[in-house]
Amino acid sequence: MLELCILKVDDPGCFWGRIVKGAGVCVEDPKEYEELHIQMNLFYHKVNLDIEKMRLPSLEEGQVCVVYSGALKSWCRAVLESLFQGADGCQALCFLVDHAKRISVNADKVLAPLEKFLQLPFWVRKFQLSGIHPMTLQVSDSLEKAELVPSSHWDTSATRYFRNLLQASTLMEAVLCDEQAESTAVELYLTIENMKLYCILCYTFCVCINIYSIITQTYIYIYITEVMEVLLPGAEVVLKMTLSACENESSHTHCVWSQALSQWSYSRPGVTECYCWPMVARGCDTLIVSSNGDDPLSYLPPFLTHLTHLMLSSVYSTLTSHTGPIAVILCPGWKKSQHLSDMLEISAARSLNPLTILVGHRREEAKSVKIKNCQLLVTTPFSLVRLLVFHTFLFLRLCHLVLDEVDVLYTRAPEEMSTILQHFEKVAASEERTSMPRQIIAAGRRWSHHAETLLTEHMRDPCVIITAPEEAALYGKVHQIVLLCLDDTKISTLPLCLNFASDVAQKTLIITNSMDEVEQVFTAVSSRGLFAWKLHEKLIYQFDVIIDQWRKVNDPGTHIVLVTTNHCVKALDIQDATCIVHYGFPSTPKQFGQRLFYMSKNFGNLSDKDRAEKLSHSAKSVLLLSEYNASHINGILRYMERANAVIPHELQDFAKGVMQAKEKQKAQRPLCSHLKSFGFCRWITICPDLTQCLQILPLYIKNASCYYGRLVSGKKDGYNSLAAQMAEHYAIERLHATKVVEGGIYALQEEDVYHRVRVQAVMERGERLFYSVLVCFLDEGHQKEVKAHQLLILPSQFQILPPQAVEIIVCRVQPIDGEVDWNPKVSWHISQKIKGVQHQGKIVLCLGNTVWVDPMVRITSMPGLKTTINEYDIHSEILATGMGTNNPQHVVLLRELCQRADMPLSKMINNMQRNITCDFLSTESRDTGGEPLYSLFHPLIKWFQREDSVTLTIKLVDPVGQTCEFFPHRVLYSGTVNDRHYHADLELHNGIIPEKSTWSMKCSTPVIKLMKAEKGFWKMLLKQKVTVLFSRLCFLEDPGEEGRYSIPGSESASDSDSDS
């Protein structure tokens, strides 16, 4: 049974109501309809709304429309019931489908609804009582007989009685009986004075029957399918207009462009393209700043069309005295250059013979470059400057310069950009170029002072297109202010934002995030004696009055303050505010930009310097930053620095604290690949320093300086033994995996070798006979997609050995030109040279499964001689390609990160004398606790013994901060000399008596005396005698003649040594 709320009664056969509650029924949420009406009011109250476009083409009965109700002070959805001629012209009688009211409005005030306003079903529904029909009393002509007969309409007394019952009832319930086209038939149950009645109306009386059973049924939503779509005017025809901007363009070119855009999955021009394509096609200097400014499609189609047209028109025929390209596209790196090259291959630019050239540091490479019959060159600033050194004459025809991602270009190569622009200006100013076209196109995502220099010094009559409001505010030099305060003191901080005395008209917008904040701020501002207004969702009917008052404030010295919410301010179409106060913090950068745009008429204009200087001081943005906005502090700080705003010291300190807290949260995350490869990524993590020479076998080349492979031990190699056992096993028994699960470990055969693999992901099978899986080779490090039926069951004895693959990074080398990724041809060259070839490397750092080596050398033994030669050094090989450069700070930067990390040292490593193996290089994080590991050194120790004692002499002079702890089988010593921290953890071969052991200073040197638990001579000092100490806790000495490391103090001294 459903609970109803009946709002309007025409008669028992037609009444309107809402379903309030019911089992199995999805009841409409009143908050959704409240929000719907807020959105409708904001939209139809817009000051700049084009009413003509929103009117219905024709008015017909039954149409869904939107009308304004003066009684409700709101725009409402309605159904047009009838049209009639009134005193004020044609009138429309409309039924409000969410309020069950009828109103009459002027016909020209009936507007069309947007699609988004018709998503919710009508809030009120039409009902009728089931099982009854209207009757009337029919009297014979002789007045002798009267009887009830069916009637076409309900008697007024029946309607009145029905209304009286509804008014007296405290609960209205119904059972749905029949769904008809226009109404729903129900059995109605009313609760009057705690009695539930079943109502059957007939003529002027009602039969009431007590009822105790409840019947429940579901009901059907009604959706409106006729909707109206609002499109960006002219967006579909921009491409056609752009291509038509060049005269005599062939239909073939148009067809090629259509195919190219289709291949790029480009559907239609956006806002940026609608503005910039026509300007680029006309040959204008154009500067584009938008969120998609890094997409070449923002300028490429009209640029290539314009270039092709000029070529066909023989405009460049007078430049026959020189050869070379007429247009150059500068990209920030080789990846973007390759992307542009791929786009040009499938576009209409083939007639321009586009060419991509990237040259390295080698002078011979730049000198040997040949450019023939190329009209369009794609390159980077670094490569172009290198070409200009040797081939200046090839760039004397340059007429068009395109700067792709101009903000990144200036960040990475400011000097090179200056050189290129100077050359372009010099070439364009020559006498023979007076009648030649000259064009600079710059596209990027951010505005910067470099873009300002480009605009004012190198562009002629430029067209500036900025579609990101927050970037437009930087262009307009809006004065940015940040005030740091507690959330509960924002009201008291607010007066600091308002300029009470000014010689110009002040229009201040205070934007909040809720209606409650509007009321609080309005009260505070009004108490200061300012002329203030407030506007929120419940005061939308005051739109016209408020906007009228806002526009009247133009006299010098006047000041109006409007306190409003994010939703309401959008509908006001304000663009002439002089100050925006962000009382409510903007939730997104987009919302922040929208708020700044309310001052757009007061933005400075670089093309009009007088106006720019006058207006730039009148636009001001004040941001109140509280403790609840800490997560946005980094983004705010970056934006304020770009705006050259004064940043308070307390804000900088607050930002540092937030950044440190965020970095601590990253401690358990993997290291950034760029930090590992180059050392200059902003990442703080735990990094123990290790040093060891090992044999390295690279098996998978990720890029020129990062590989995956195995560390080959001189002793029995566990992996080789495993591989032999696997080959022997599968030669006898090959069981294929019947069920492949993600995370499972299997075997995979490639040629004659069996590999251990882990399944990373199982692909969807679809209609394919065999499905694929993504596997990771545990002993080689790379990933590959294979067929599931190729996997073999791996017995458990072959899964004991840990994964042998480690990540190997060559130190002190990085890509040229500030790139963060290696050029593929360098990686290919290194891969061909080192893959599968054993090298020797010295490990300088180690973390988890990653080792840093410097150097990494290929050593070859001379047959028949005890001599080896260094065949090549990988570091030098990379530099020789011309695509790499020295990075001397690589290891230094990594160690500085360790120095900045908080790494305690209270906990020692028990197995500190283990050799470096793949077992050691696990991915588990290990806690070290105490001091930073970068500063720990192992002291040189000399020892000798007597029958009852052992004396240790620590070779340190005047150490400070010493500690020495004794345990039954262990001694811990630490001290500092010249800011170097020394630590020794000695696990003894035999036991001692801790209570009787002592230490003292003799001749400025610490001496430790250990009392033996049992008398007798020890064979060695330490429990385990080793020749390699691979400890996270010390820096080891340089290798000896045999290339191995020795442990200071590991051998017993001569018995002739005496205890002084």
CATH code where residue 326 lies: 3.40.50.300
**Residue written as tokens 């607010």?**
494
pLDDT of residue 676: 60
Domain boundary among 77, 92, 120: 120
Residue 916 and residue 1048 in one domain: yes
Position 664 in a domain: no
Over 14-61, what HEC string results? EEEEEEEEECCCCCCCHHHHHHHHHHHHHHHCCCCCCHHHHECCCCCC
Are 27 and 200 in contact by the 8 Å Cβ rule? The answer is: no
pLDDT of residue 665: 64
Spatial separation of the C-alpha atoms in residues 334 and 341, rounded to whole Å: 10
Structural domain count, the chain:
5
Task: With CA atoms as reference, report the closest residue to 359 among 826, 1045, 998.
Answer: 826
Residue 355 and residue 448 in one domain: yes
Task: With CA atoms as reference, report the closest residue to 280 among 307, 258, 299, 252.
Answer: 299
Are 518 and 534 in contact by the 8 Å Cβ rule? The answer is: yes
pLDDT of residue 442: 95
Domain boundary among 628, 657, 686: 657
Residue 264, amino acid: W
Spatial separation of the C-alpha atoms in residues 475 and 462, rounded to whole Å: 14
Residue 505 and residue 455 in one domain: no
Q: What angle do CA 38, 41, 43 make, to 5 degrees?
A: 110
Torsion, Cα of 656, 662, 664, 669 (10° steps): -140
Residue 616 and residue 683 in one domain: no
Show the domain range for 636. Answer: 471-657
Distances (CA, A) of 284 to 418, 461, 561, 774: 21, 8, 42, 51
**Residue written as tokens 């409840």?**
214
Residue 483 and residue 335 in one domain: no
Kindly state the greatest CA–CA separation across the chain. Answer: 155
Neighbours of 789 (CB within 10 A): 13
Residue 461 and residue 478 in one domain: no
Element spanning 4, H or E: strand 2-11
Residue 986 and residue 1044 in one domain: yes
The size of the chain, in residues, is 1060
Position 144 in a domain: no
Residue 418 and residue 505 in one domain: no
pLDDT of residue 203: 31
Position 680 in a domain: yes
Omega before 855 within 30 of 0, i.e. cis: yes
Task: With CA atoms as reference, report the closest residue to 439 among 249, 283, 322.
Answer: 283
Distances (CA, A) of 234 to 230, 249, 302, 994: 12, 21, 17, 90
Task: With CA atoms as reference, report the closest residue to 709 among 920, 923, 918.
Answer: 918
Give the start-end residues of each E strand in 821-894.
Answer: 839-847, 850-861, 868-873, 884-886
Residue 937, amino acid: F
Element spanning 75, H or E: strand 74-86
Position 615 in a domain: yes
Position 185 in a domain: no
Spatial separation of the C-alpha atoms in residues 675 and 683, rounded to whole Å: 7
Residue 319 and residue 452 in one domain: yes
CATH at 728? 2.30.30.140
DSSP 8-state secondary structure symbol assigned to residue 995:
T
Measured over the CA atoms of residue 599, residue 600, residue 605 and residue 611, the dihedral's sign is negative
Position 195 in a domain: no
Domain boundary among 120, 154, 172: 120
Residue 441 and residue 519 in one domain: no
Residues of the chain with pLDDT under 70: 23-26, 141-144, 181, 195-258, 260, 263-265, 267, 317-318, 320-321, 347-349, 499-502, 608-617, 663-693, 713-717, 766-769, 866, 898-937, 979, 1024-1060
Q: What angle do CA 797, 799, 800 make, to 5 degrees?
A: 75
Position 138 in a domain: no
Which residues, in sequence order, are bridge partners of residue 16?
A: 8, 126
Position 74 in a domain: yes
Q: How far apart are the first and last CA of the chain?
A: 104
pLDDT of residue 1058: 36
pLDDT of residue 119: 87
Residue 816 and residue 842 in one domain: yes
pLDDT of residue 735: 86
CA 802 remoteness from chain centre? 36
Residue 539 and residue 649 in one domain: yes
Spatial separation of the C-alpha atoms in residues 165 and 19, rounded to whole Å: 19
